[in-house]
Amino acid sequence: MFTLKEIDNSAVELLSALSIEAFIQAYEGVHSKSDLEAYCRDNYSVDSTESLLNTSETEAVVAFQGSDPAVFYVLKHHSCPVELAGQSTEQKQIYVLSEHFGGGLGRQLCESAVNKARKNKSKCLWLCVSDLNYRAQAFYGKTGFSKIGQGPELIVGNDILSSSIMVLSIEAAHA
């Protein structure tokens, strides 16, 4: 049984540590250790995580199994780089720790993210995903996201990756 809990900057160290662990699990077979460390240092340090959580447009949710964190997502209520009809919300991160893969927890988090975006009056939930992250692309496709364009380059240490922007119509998503 998992309990979803919205977090704020009082949990910055937890979110920083979870982000690092989940990112390394997701990409350790793709990037070198030094590139992973550089990316995590630049993007998931306590300072950068605190900066992210201190903006009024950001929401973060962690799912706990008992007292152990298992998954999380971060939303940012702002416009997509590709023009979308109506207000939109970016799903900046959604990560499930590997020991919790396959249990439906990712889908539960997506539903929670859709509900939060809907409460923000967003019409669409969008995200950028690495073109090398086939597992994530398949997951998003199964949950109703579709590719709408090329995303920004993602820099992981010395690696430069292409990405895609995927979008989910909130009106079409389950309530």
CA dist., res. 42 & res. 37, Å (int):
9
pLDDT tens for 62-111 read 999 888 888 899 999 998 888 888 889 999 988 877 777 777 788 888 89
pLDDT recorded at residue 172: 62
pLDDT tens for 53-62 read 999 999 999 9
Q: 149 forms bridges with which residues in the sheet?
A: 165
pLDDT tens for 21-38 read 999 998 898 899 999 999
| 121 DSSP assignment | T
Find where tokens 């499930």 sit: 96
What percentage of the chain has pLDDT greater than the value 90? Answer: 65
CA atoms within 13 A on the CB side of 6: 8
CA atoms within 13 A on the CB side of 135: 12
CA dist., res. 103 & res. 106, Å (int):
8
pLDDT recorded at residue 137: 93
Average pLDDT over residues 135-163: 93
- The residue type of 123 is K
Q: Per the structure block, which two tokens stand in for 154?
A: 């993602």
Strand order in the sheet with 58-65: 2-7, 58-65, 68-76, 88-96, 124-130, 163-169, 146-150
CB atoms inside a 10 Å sphere around CB 152 = 11
Average pLDDT over residues 41-57: 93
**What does pTM read for this prediction?**
0.88
Q: Per the structure block, which two tokens stand in for 119?
A: 């409460």
